Structure 1
Amino acid sequence: MAIKLFLLMTLLSHVASSFSEWCHPQDKMALLQIKKELNNPIILSSWKSNTDCCKTSWNGVTCFPSNNRVSELTITDDNNLITSKFPLSVGNLSYLESLSFYHLPNLTGPIPIKSISELFKLKTLIITRTGMSGTIPNFPAQMEQLTYLDLSSNHFSGKLPYYLYKLPKLGVISFHDNFLTGPIPPSYGYFNNKNTPTLFFSHNQLSGRLPISLSRLINPTVIEFSYNKFEGDASMLFGSNKTTREIYLSQNMFKFDLGKVELPKTLTALEVSHNQIYGKLPLGIENLYPLNVSYNNLCGKIPKGGYIHLSDVTSFFHNKCLCGSPLPSCK
């Protein structure tokens, strides 16, 4: 009798263990519905109802080992076979921390903010190189864990969302290569300064003057505003008290005295070509590479030393009166 009881308990233990390894029924149901909403693409053929979405190889699915809830979902399609709208059932993956949809040129429609805003634990949202369009919504403040927001290389248009500054942990905002218009909102100067986000806004149709509130941003690692229609002063992006490492402002209509700015001591790269910037080259510019100040109205002598020898004539030409190597010598 004792032997039978031992065998029964062992069997029940194995059964309980196997059940504990299965992904959560709600997550499995959500994933299968996502597959259906994406029109059952062949790249998701591993998503089968009779297999375990956590313990078997469901393409693009990662689970927490502690509770077998889905933690990451990545869907990409190099063969461009997915043709659908963004799947609304993503919002049912309540433990999701990372969501990535990329290289999906036939994924269309707007961002379903009502669905995505249900993901309170989400830290990373990547929607890039898709056919999605419409405006970029204001992500609600309750998505307070969001740290990485990449919506680059899509067809989004309209203005920049005003209330992003209310997301306290946001560390990267990448909206480059879209069709965004209008100015940068003054609210973008009020991000949490303990974690000022890196800003990638290049290759859009953004315009107007930069808000003076951007002077409050102390530590964005990269500022990338190139290839837009900005104008006026951009000197508030500089300052010896900042910890910015790279600044890219090329192909705009900025007009300010570069000689009066103080470069961040941490700055390693500066590209401001094709603007209307004037004045002398600022102190410390010889320590920057890459460096490009061409097609402006700058004057004065190009300093020696540092990394200047790494920059060729194309980094300096087409200015009002710059001189010195690698340009002709000063008279």
Structure 2
Amino acid sequence: MATKFFLLLILLSHVASSLSEGCHPQDKKALLQIKKELNNPSLLSSWKPHTNCCDSSWYGVICAPSNNRVYSILFESNDDLAFPFPPSIGNLPTLENILIYNLPHLTGSISHSITKLTHLKSLTISKTGLSGPIPNFIGKLKNLTFLDLSENRLSGTLPPHLFHLPNFEAMYLQNNKLTGSIPSSFARLNSLVVDLSHNRLEGDASMFFGIAKKTETIDLSWNMLAFDMGGLEFPEKLKHLDVSHNRVYGNLPEVVKNLEWLDVSYNRLCGEIPKGGILQALGMSSFSHNRCLCGSPLPSCK
């Protein structure tokens, strides 16, 4: 019995040793430096130097089981943590996903170091104090498919080279302080979701429309955009469209009958609302406060 117990102790010691060494040294070094750059917050108290960073006990760290390299990190907290964007994130070369959420005192701008993350597919930095312009260098992340920079304090214009990305699927930039016109280069964007709502953008936004595009949701509401609605061709898969609280003019094309949701209120539209689909069931609020829009569910045209 004593011999079996001794062998069990040896086995457990080997298991513990393999766990402690399971984390790649470069990744562990980078993570501990990130913790330091964040002023050692209690949120990351589980990040201890003598433990395995690929162990589930390390908050917000996920490693690939095939090679024990970090491919995903998550920071989410209701605490009043105050710190800049940690530049050492760029020292995690196999990182594919970043999610930083609900950190209102995260300050400064996105570090240029993320351009080293050539495998990055998803970048979410939302509900933070992040400020300044959206950096052009995000366009260097050629594998990026998902970008969520919503509900921050981002300002300035949209960088023209931001979305020369071949696999891009979703863009959430709502609830910021973005200004100016939308670059014509955004016509190349062929994502499933576009949300630029609640900013201060102006001018044309027709580049997001087109029958060949794959877009399913477009939300441009609460801006100062002005374009002719009647001259647009809608993406075949478009289901949700919100252009409310803008300066959109023209008439509503017949194709809006194919949508599952529509809000064009508070614009400068005219003409009769097409009949069919869900349009009449949407109610007056989806069409109200336009220059001369008429027909059910608004009062009839004279």
TM-score, normalized by length of structure 1? 0.77
The match for 2:95 is 96
1:282 to 253, 263, 266: 253
1:116 to 109, 114, 117: 114
- Larger displacement relative to structure 2 (31-40 or 137-146): 137-146
Q: From the superposition, tell whether residues 144 and 179 of structure 1 become closer, same or farther in structure 2 (CA, over 3 Å).
A: same
Whether 2:195 is the aligned partner of 1:200: answer: yes
- Aligned-partner Cα distance in 2 for 1:327–1:277: 18
Q: From the superposition, tell whether residues 48 and 290 of structure 1 become closer, same or farther in structure 2 (CA, over 3 Å).
A: same
List gaps (5 residues or longer) in structure 2: 1-5
- Aligned-partner Cα distance in 1 for 2:165–2:219: 25
List gaps (5 residues or longer) in structure 1: 1-6, 207-229
Whether 2:84 is the aligned partner of 1:85: answer: yes
Q: From the superposition, tell whether residues 278 and 64 of structure 1 become closer, same or farther in structure 2 (CA, over 3 Å).
A: closer
The match for 1:137 is 135
The match for 2:159 is 161
SS at match of 2:293: strand
SS at match of 1:139: helix
- Aligned-partner Cα distance in 2 for 1:167–1:235: 20
Q: From the superposition, tell whether residues 250 and 166 of structure 1 become closer, same or farther in structure 2 (CA, over 3 Å).
A: closer
Whether 2:234 is the aligned partner of 1:263: answer: yes
C-alpha contact (below 8 Å) 2:194/2:217 kept by paired residues: no
Whether 2:175 is the aligned partner of 1:177: answer: yes
Deviations 1:51-106 (A, max 9, x none): 211124111011111111111111111122x2212222222212111112111111
The match for 2:3 is none
C-alpha contact (below 8 Å) 1:298/1:321 kept by paired residues: yes
Give the count of matched residue pairs: 295
SS at match of 1:125: strand
1:248 to 219, 230, 242: 219
- Aligned-partner Cα distance in 2 for 1:185–1:277: 18
C-alpha contact (below 8 Å) 2:172/2:194 kept by paired residues: yes
Q: Provide the alpha-carbon RMSD of the alignment.
A: 3.0
The match for 1:222 is none
